[in-house]
Amino acid sequence: MEKSSSQARTARLPSRPLEFAIESLIRVLGFSAIGFVTLIFIFLLTEGLPAFLQVRPRNLFSTRWYPTFNLYGVLPLIAGSALVTVTAMFIAFPLGLFTAVFVREVAPNWAREILKPLIEVLAGIPSVVLGFFGMTMLAPIVREVLGAPTGLTALTGAIILAYMSLPTIISVAEDALDAVPKSYRDASLAMGATRWQTIWRVVVPSARSGILMALMLGMGRAIGETMAVMMVTGNAARMPEGLQAILKPVRTMTATIAAEMGEVAHGSTHYHVLFGIGLILFVITFLINLAVASMMFQKRSRGGLR
C-alpha cells in the first residue's frame, strides 16, 4: 500500500509541482503541531526543572505555601486541584450521562433538535462570566443553604467546573450512544425487554468505553480551568482534611500560577516553582489524554466506535 502510493507520487511529480508543494506544506503543518507541543514541553522543562533543584524536596513537598517567604509547599495546591476536579466530576458525570441518554434515547426528534445546539452554546460561555456568576450568585447560596462560613469553597468551584465540563461530557457520551448499532436495541426489544431495560442494560453498557472517554475529557477540561476557579474557590492554600473540606476554601494549581506569575521576578526561585507547578499540571493532563487515546485505540482495534 505504502509502496504503491509513493511510486504513483514519484511518477506524477514532474508534471505536478504545485500538488507536490501543497502536499509538502500540509505535511509540514501537520508535523508542526507535534513540534509545538514538543517545544512547549522543552520550555516547561527548562523553566520548571530548576525549581526541583533549587528548592529542597522537604520544602517543596510540604503543606505550607508562602512563596513570599520561600515556603514552597505544593501539596495543598495539588490536593486543592484534585478535590475540586473530582467533586466536579461527581456532579457533572451523572448529570451529563443522563442528559446524553435523554437526548439520544428518550427525547422526541424536535426536542433533540433544540437541545443539541443549546448544549453547544453552553460550551461557549466565557469562564470569567461563569466565575462572576459564581462569585455573586452561587457563593451566597452555598454559604446560606449549607451553612459554610464563606461561600467561596471547593464545592462552589466544583459546581462551576461541573457546569463548564458538562457540554464536553454530554456531546462525547452522546456520540458514544449514537454509535451503538440499532440492531442491539432491536434485539433487546424483540427479546421482550422494556425501553428502560434496553437503555440501562444494553445500550449504555455497550457504549461504556466512549462514556468513560467523556468522563476523562471532561476531567481534562476541569483540571486546567483557571479564571472561574480563581474567582470562586477562595484561594486559601490549606490541605483539605476530611469530608467537610469541600465546604472550605482551596487553592488550585492553575489559580496559583495565574495569580502569582504576573508579579514574580523573572528567573527567581518563585518563578521556577510556578513553572514547576505548570509541569506537574502538564504531566497530569498528559496522562489523562494518554488514557483517553489508549481507550480509543482499543476501540478501533475491536472495530466500530462504541
Partner 1 sequence: MVNLALAWVEAYTALHPEVRISVTGGGSGTGIAAMINGTVHIANASREMKPEEIAAAKANGITPVEFIVAWDAIAIVVHPENPVNGLTLQQLSDIYTGKITNWREVGGEDRPIVLLSRESNSGTYVYFLEHVVRLGQKNDLLFSPDTLLMPSSEGISAEVRQNRNAIGYDGLGYVTPDQKVIAVARDEKGPYVLPSIETVNDGSYPISRPLYMYTPGEPTGQVKEYIDWVLTDGQAIVAELGFVPLKNAKGR
Task: Please state, in angstroms and as integers, the Cα–Cα distance from residue 107 to each residue in 112, 115, 202, 241, 291, following that order.
Answer: 6, 9, 18, 42, 32
CB 50 to partner 1: min, Å: 20
Instruction: Report helix, strand or coil for 262.
Output: coil
**CB of 237 closer than 8 Å to CB of 77:** yes
Question: Minimal distance in Å, beta carbon 243 to partner 1?
Answer: 17
Q: Which CB, 63 or 285, lies closer to partner 1?
A: 63
CA distance 248 to 90: 18
- Please give the Cα distance from 264 to 51 (Å, whole number): 14
Cβ closest to partner 1, residue 66 vs residue 90: 66
* Distance in Å, CB of 221 to partner 1, minimum: 21
- Shortest spacing between CB 70 and partner 1, in angstroms: 11
Nearer to partner 1, 100 or 237 (CB): 237
Closer CB to partner 1, residue 148 or residue 216? 148
The angle, 0 to 180 degrees and rounded to 10, between the axes of the packed helices 208-224 and 269-302 is 170
CB of 253 to partner 1, least distance (A): 14
- Between CA 240 and CA 226 the distance in angstroms is 19
Judged by the rule CB under 8 A, the positions of this chain that interact with partner 1 are 64, 66-69, 76, 135-136, 139-140, 143, 149-152, 230-231, 234-238, 248-249, 251, 255, 258-260, 262-264
